Structure 1
Amino acid sequence: MKIRSPFFIFVLLLAGSFVGAYLTQQPTVFVYYRIIYLLLALITIAFLWAVLALGGLSVVRSARVLRLPVGQIFEERFEVHNESWYGRLWIEVKDLSPLPEKQGSRVISGIGPRQSRSYFSRTLLIQRGAFRLGPTVLISGDPFGFFAVNKIIPADKTLLVFPYMVNLQKFPEPGGELPGGRALRRKSLEVTPYAAGVREYAPGDPLNRIHWKTTARKDRLMVKEFEQDPQADVWILLDAQAGTHSAMADTQRIDRANHYWIIPQKLIIPLPPNSFEYGVSCAASVADYYLKHGRSVGFACAAQTLSVLPAEKGVRQMGKLLETLAFLQPEGSLPITGLIEGQTSQIPKGSTVVIITAICSEVLELAIEILLRKDLRPVVIGLDPASFGAHPKECGVFERLKAYGIPLRIIRNGDDLQKALENER
């Protein structure tokens, strides 16, 4: 319980009444006694009111969706329940979740006994990551403003905000090693759309791979075999080495007065002036493009820890990639060349490798040379460090890569990400 400033003013009045009663003689002293009794009664009533103010109160937070990308409106419902037999004059609901620009705090008045009140909050998502939806604090007090009490309701849900993405219509797709010929055939430990045949069951084989018709015909357990996708994979390598990315103070102001109260929809918002945030959005957008075109996409990034997603197809792969990207920070110790050397042994020859980096030095040329020696097809997304506040040395790496015929996209702070990724500068 917290004592507010009006209580001390009230105490001064009470003390003044005692002094007046002491200095005043009969028969007018009874006036001060009545004032003292009245003030003591008010303090007692206010204290008991505050003690009972939050009894039987609870708040429930619910949301239809707990996974959304940056730029979407997150809608959440707050429902305050009063299970007691007496009403409440006012209740303040304070949202203490770490979600930026949260809009969940409200003051509710006039909740009757055994009644509920609800409202919706709509928050524009501007930062990727995981955010606990809470804690939530209920605050109330007495009608005189003497005391304030609060009840903390811990968070029980987490909102996962995915990176900002753009819908690409085109992006470089380097050709394979040969324009035709026989497709490569490789056995796969995973279930794929490419069935290769059947073999006899071995201990450890999952039961869902048993081919029952062949089992009945052969009179012994037979399991299905699968092959990898004969089409070349696409791998996205995101450079997250500490010190390679740069950022400026975010002075951009987003108009959040109109939150599309009737129909929540995705908004086009500027990315923060941070090269790594641009890189994460590029990775998500490029992966979305290739997966929509039926390609198998893999991902690797050496951030806080080494994150590697084997190449797969489909919506499920996109979900895993977005979950990974939501938590990445540029705090890695492995340079882009080390990441490439560590992953190229796992990447089939002829695959496309998309490098996303803010390095503008000969190190980038060395990374490209490693890929070419491994018979891989590089695509470079260069995050121009100068536009993000860095002061790199003059370097003509991007021009030399263009001269070598390497597909290149240069991203600068403030660019329209879709246009910058679709069109070569």
Structure 2
Amino acid sequence: MKRIYLILFLLALTLFSALSTGFYLLYRLVYALALILVSSYIWTWISSWGIEARVERRTSRAAKGENIEARITVRNTSFIPKSWLEVQEMTDMPGHLEGMAIGLPSRGFRSWKVSTPCKRRGIYTLGPLRVTSGDLFGLFRRERYFGDVHTLIVYPQIINLHHFSIPAADLPGEGSAVHRSFSITPSASTVKDYTYGESLRRIHWPSTARMGKLMIKEFDQGPSSDIWLFLDLHWDVQAEQEEESTDDYGATIAASIARKYLDAELSVGFVAHGDDRYVLPPETGPAQMARIMEVLAKGKAQGKVPLEEALAQEEALYSRNSSVVIITPSYREEWIFVLKELMRRRIKVLVILVEPSSFGGRDSNLHLSGNLARNGIPSYVVSRGDDLSAVLSHMYRGPQMAEVFPGHPGRLL
């Protein structure tokens, strides 16, 4: 638009000079500038006339790391060719491709695929489609919009946590007694001979091959009846580097743990204090998983309540049969005192520390692992770039000090 102001300034200056001097060449220059302005304006309107555009998209839901594919089609229904059009889909989604410049022949069309990577979980808007026309001199631009605004939900990734478990033996007041279960749970205890009528899903194939007969897995009932996931979304402790953030890692961990235990038919609840207070009471089944995923996609790390206050506010949610998994990048020590109070009530507590300095944060929370260990609170540490399935298969005990039970993957020492 700066060019139009320059042309108008030159036109006014030339007209003033022509009227002052009466020099005929200046009058010709005035006519030429006026002709350029009028023809450019008309050309811009003609270029936007007779245009149709649409976007075809197969899904409105995806997971972080996936690509959302769409097909954009722009058609010229008029007999006048379109020499320059800029096509861009309006969206607040990070990583979305910029507009594309095209030309269209008389009654022709262009169609192409657009693939957008889902780099961050969240709820985004897609559309409408903006088609911009202009003149050859870049003096005028006209925008037209096609289609409606659609919502895209990007869920966190889900990682298979085969060896992750919530320990019971290390917690105060708990014994190591194990009860057998006829249901499939996350904790395989032993194997036994197959009995007619038992589910084939429980067959342990390595033992079957070794023994030469069908062997099936027996499962523990698990450490508790209810599992609560507490995701820390306090804004002041978050960190981000190269499109990877502590809150996205936390959401992935929460989703993965929820899937593991809900698949085992255990009750899982969820709590987070972010841009809003999110509380999902413990329930079982696919519907609960869907609710947790919706909240994880929606929740933003904009919480104003620090972890120690949020934990204290939600103490009444937990019963003696609860296990609470806290996922946090916090480097503050105050919240550990709240966990000690939960443990005094015989509530099982597990902490997953997301290390903020690995995401470019100013502080580290590795010093908290020692404090947690001294208070009998098991913990895991996750850093940027870690294989989550691997680091969540053993507790953090400092450098080169993580162990698991021999022969029992996921059973923590």
The letter for the 1-side match of 2:230 is L
Distance (Å, rounded) in 2 between the aligned partners of 1:36 and 1:404: 86
Return the TM-score normalized by structure 1: 0.68
The letter for the 2-side match of 1:366 is F
Partner of 2:163: 170
CA contact (8 A) 2:47 2:134 kept: yes
CA contact (8 A) 1:246 1:390 kept: no
Amino-acid identity (%): 28
> Which of 64, 69, 72 in structure 1 is aligned with 2:66?
72
Partner of 2:311: 340
Distance 1:182 1:3, change over 3 A: closer
Q: How far does residue 294 in structure 1 lie from its aligned partner after superposition?
A: 2.5
> Which of 112, 129, 136 in structure 2 is aligned with 1:119?
112
Q: How far does residue 41 in structure 1 lie from its aligned partner after superposition?
A: 6.5
Distance 1:150 1:332, change over 3 A: closer
Distance (Å, rounded) in 2 between the aligned partners of 1:164 and 1:310: 22
Partner of 2:261: 290
Distance 1:41 1:275, change over 3 A: closer
Partner of 1:276: 247
Question: In structure 2, the residue corresponding to 1:58 is in which secondary structure?
Answer: strand
Distance 1:37 1:392, change over 3 A: closer
The letter for the 2-side match of 1:64 is R
The letter for the 1-side match of 2:228 is W
Distance (Å, rounded) in 1 between the aligned partners of 2:73 and 2:89: 13
1:157 is aligned to 2:128:
no
Instruction: Note the residue ranges of structure 1 that are not aligned, 5 or more in a row.
Output: 184-229, 253-270
Distance 1:374 1:155, change over 3 A: farther
Partner of 2:361: 389
Partner of 1:267: none
Distance 1:407 1:91, change over 3 A: same
1:301 is aligned to 2:272:
yes
Distance (Å, rounded) in 2 between the aligned partners of 1:23 and 1:342: 84
CA contact (8 A) 1:296 1:313 kept: yes
Q: How far does residue 100 in structure 1 lie from its aligned partner after superposition?
A: 1.5
Distance 1:142 1:376, change over 3 A: same
CA contact (8 A) 2:227 2:324 kept: yes
The letter for the 2-side match of 1:81 is R
Distance 1:3 1:390, change over 3 A: closer
> Which of 57, 62, 77 in structure 2 is aligned with 1:63?
57
Alpha-carbon displacement from aligned partner over 1:58-99 (angstroms, at most 9, x marks no partner): 322231111112111111221223344544223211334222
Distance (Å, rounded) in 2 between the aligned partners of 1:149 and 1:182: 69
Matches within 5 A, 1:349-360: 349-360=320-331
Distance (Å, rounded) in 2 between the aligned partners of 1:351 and 1:324: 21
Q: How far does residue 302 in structure 1 lie from its aligned partner after superposition?
A: 1.5
Distance (Å, rounded) in 1 between the aligned partners of 2:354 and 2:28: 78
Distance 1:238 1:306, change over 3 A: same
The letter for the 1-side match of 2:43 is W
Q: Which segment drifts farther, 372-381 or 38-47?
A: 38-47
Distance 1:379 1:136, change over 3 A: same
CA contact (8 A) 2:353 2:381 kept: yes
CA contact (8 A) 2:238 2:301 kept: no
Instruction: Note the residue ranges of structure 2 that are not aligned, 5 or more in a row.
Output: 169-173, 183-222, 397-413
Question: In structure 2, the residue corresponding to 1:134 is in which secondary structure?
Answer: strand
Partner of 1:89: 83
Distance (Å, rounded) in 2 between the aligned partners of 1:415 and 1:79: 41
Distance 1:4 1:152, change over 3 A: farther
Partner of 2:210: none
Partner of 2:216: none
1:241 is aligned to 2:213:
no
Q: How far does residue 383 in structure 1 lie from its aligned partner after superposition?
A: 2.3
CA contact (8 A) 2:351 2:380 kept: yes
Q: How far does residue 278 in structure 1 lie from its aligned partner after superposition?
A: 2.5
Distance (Å, rounded) in 2 between the aligned partners of 1:377 and 1:35: 86
Distance (Å, rounded) in 2 between the aligned partners of 1:422 and 1:394: 18
Alpha-carbon displacement from aligned partner over 1:24-57 (angstroms, at most 9, x marks no partner): 8xxxx9xx99999888767654433222221232
The letter for the 2-side match of 1:318 is M
Return the TM-score normalized by structure 2: 0.70
CA contact (8 A) 2:64 2:118 kept: yes
Distance 1:392 1:167, change over 3 A: closer
Distance 1:385 1:86, change over 3 A: closer
CA contact (8 A) 1:7 1:147 kept: no
Alpha-carbon displacement from aligned partner over 1:231-278 (angstroms, at most 9, x marks no partner): 7121101123343x1425x3x4xxxxxxxxxxxxxxxxxx62x43332
Q: How far does residue 112 in structure 1 lie from its aligned partner after superposition?
A: 2.6
Q: How far does residue 409 in structure 1 lie from its aligned partner after superposition?
A: 0.6
Distance 1:34 1:318, change over 3 A: same
CA contact (8 A) 1:349 1:374 kept: yes
Matches within 5 A, 1:7-22: none
Distance (Å, rounded) in 2 between the aligned partners of 1:111 and 1:316: 51
Alpha-carbon displacement from aligned partner over 1:131-161 (angstroms, at most 9, x marks no partner): 2213432112345655432224475112222
The letter for the 2-side match of 1:151 is R
Distance 1:33 1:284, change over 3 A: same
CA contact (8 A) 2:121 2:297 kept: yes
Q: How many residues align?
A: 349
